[in-house]
Amino acid sequence: MAKKRRTSRKPGRKEALAVIILAMLVGLARQMLAPSYDLSNIPDYDGTSAYAVIDRNRPSFTEEEYTTDSYEYYSELDSLGRCSIAEACVGVDLMPTEERESISKVKPTGWVQHQYDFVDGGSLYNRCHLIGFQLTGENANEKNLITGTRYMNVEGMLPFENQVADYVASTGNHVLYRVTPAFTGTELVARGVEMEAYSVEDQGRGVCFHVYCYNVQPGVEIDYATGENWEA
């Protein structure tokens, strides 16, 4: 279900309703459509970059989706309990105003945690936000958390999240933002995540990217069907 929170102004009832309907329709449309890329066309992780560029770095948002009304949408979990598309029009009004709380009670699919001395922080897996807490303030939301490696979370996703957060905070503008976990078959751990972003007011001049972040950890082998893992 979509929701609109912490707005910086008080919209009229019709305007607020329109934003909610827009977010719901966008979410339903995305669930019915095929992914915007073919996973088989993405090169395998080669050990040099935590992400690959998709479609010449151009996001697949259409002009009909451009809006300067903040919203956020999180897909329902599928029959296996896995997350799907998370999407937002990120504005300053969605950003958190409270401290982040614990998310340790959420156990995303494939959560088989192990410790490795060579992994930053020791733990292989993080509870990875699809849409980062710094963007919408969503924290222990099971529809927004997947099992992701420390490498994907910090080296892959975080720099792009920071880019969006810094831009919105410094300009007050809005960024269309979508993250889609890529699961293969009935596997419980995503192979990676597709990230798209587009700054609306300046037609993508401030923020514009379309990337695929690999859910891998150098030195560790992962069974994506179960989440089991071992040193390579």
CB 80 within 8 A of CB 109: yes
User: Nearest Cα to 166, choosing from 210, 134, 194?
Assistant: 134
Handedness of CA 27, 33, 37, 38 (dihedral sign): positive
Question: Looking at the domain assignment, is residue 1 inside a domain?
Answer: no
Q: Looking at residue 147, what is its pLDDT?
A: 98
| pLDDT tens digits, 30-83 | 444 445 567 678 999 999 999 999 999 999 999 999 999 999 999 999 999 999
The predicted structure's pLDDT at residue 10: 38
CA distance 94 to 83: 21
The total number of structural domains in the chain stands at 1
Which 3 state secondary structure label does DSSP give 127? strand
Q: Is residue 3 part of a domain?
A: no
Q: Does a structural domain hold residue 177?
A: yes
CB 150 within 8 A of CB 120: yes
- Single-letter amino acid code for the residue at 120: D
pLDDT at 52: 97
Average pLDDT score, the chain: 89
SS3 content of the chain, % helix, strand, coil (to 5): 25, 25, 50
Six-digit token pair at 190?
A: 């995503």
Q: Which amino acid is at 160?
A: F
Q: Which domain holds residue 19?
A: 13-231
**Given phi > 0 = left and psi -120 to 50 = alpha, else beta, which region is 94?**
alpha
- Asked whether residue 135 is assigned to any structural domain, the reply reads yes
For residue 209, is it within any domain? yes
Retrieve residue 180's tokens: 């889609």
Note whether residue 179 is domain-resident.
Answer: yes
Which of 16-20, 74-78, 227-231 is predicted with the least confidence, judged by mean pLDDT? Answer: 16-20
Residues counted in the chain: 232
pTM as predicted: 0.85
Residue 198 domain-assigned (yes or no): yes
Identify whether 39 is part of a domain. Answer: yes
135-179 pLDDT, tens digit each:
999 999 999 999 999 999 999 999 999 999 999 999 999 999 999
Instruction: Tell me the residue type at 66.
Output: Y
Q: What is the pLDDT of residue 29?
A: 45
Burial 23-44 (b: 16+ CB within 10 A, else e): beebbeebeeeeebbeeeebee
CATH number, domain with residue 25: 3.40.570.10
